[in-house]
Amino acid sequence: MFWRKQRAAIEGFHPLHRALVLEQGFSVSLPRDQWEPVVQSLARHADAVKRRRWRMSPRTSRVLVPMLRVLAADMPPEGLLSVALDMRGGKVPEKRGPERPVQVSRPILSMKEWFVFDPWLRMRAELRDGSVVELSVTDRIRHRKYKKRNPRGKIKYKHKTKTVQLVSVTRRLGKGAAPQPPGTPPPRWIQVRVKDGHRFVIRANAKLLGPLQDDELRERILHVSTEPFRWTPPGTPVRRAQ
């Protein structure tokens, strides 16, 4: 009976919320104001669902929802906000790269290495100033499995991982707009590139040694997201009048 009530609660969630619970992700583009019902539905999850199999990743409330709020605040009502969210984790076969042998020295006898790339969040927002922001967060996990002989001659097998979180934020300015270099450089852990073309493109990338706690990751994402906007100070037009 208890599980039937929880299933009924899930059926009452917003369709995107329901897809996140049952399929662990979604990919969709919606006008700005249509995201608010999704956020309100997600806020009810913890009270309505207790069973482990239907729990959501804390990244949903601690990273996704705050980023939705931040981007929506700078969008016009008709602007599209696109989100591709994948909460299946790094154990999905298609996210795993090929294995390769690694040269070793004793006491390690042999080692294999492979990488898992988990692009779990991508967002795109059309802002009211005419620019477009794209954001992506990817977990890159290095796996190393090796065979080692200990001092007593016994052979043991070890498996170690190292996680790096890659954050990329790209801002395409409106047609005819030109950026203005900021007065101070970005932090050393953020790389910024500016590309001149039909439209100026400002891209900020960061490689974060992790895995970071969700709250810290959110703050780092916001910090990286700030960099492309430092090239257009407040009051500076980013789209010329037609």
pLDDT tens column, 120-132: 999 999 999 999 9
Q: Is 141 helix (H, G, I), strand (E, B) or coil?
A: strand
| Distances in whole angstroms, Cα of residue 148 to Cα of each of 42, 144, 157 | 47, 12, 6
Of 29-43, 177-191, 227-241, least confident by mean pLDDT is: 227-241
pLDDT computed for residue 241 by the predictor: 37
Confidence class of residue 152 from pLDDT cuts 50, 70 and 90?
confident
Q: Which of 54, 118, 63, 58 is nearest to 86 (CA)?
A: 118
- In which region does residue 89 sit, left (phi positive, over 0), alpha (psi from -120 to 50) or beta (all else)? left
* Other beta carbons within 10 Å of 84: 16
Mean of pLDDT values over 20-26: 96
pLDDT computed for residue 239 by the predictor: 52
| Distances in whole angstroms, Cα of residue 164 to Cα of each of 120, 169, 215 | 13, 17, 16
pLDDT computed for residue 197 by the predictor: 79
Q: Does pLDDT of 2 surpass 60? A: no
pLDDT computed for residue 176 by the predictor: 79
For a pLDDT cut of 70, what percent of the chain falls above it? 95
Mean of pLDDT values over 171-191: 92
Given a contact cutoff of 8 angstroms between Cβ atoms, the answer to whether 120 and 86 are in contact is: yes
Given a contact cutoff of 8 angstroms between Cβ atoms, the answer to whether 95 and 120 are in contact is: no
pLDDT computed for residue 7 by the predictor: 84
Q: What are phi and psi of 211, to 5 degrees?
A: -80, 135
pLDDT computed for residue 162 by the predictor: 96
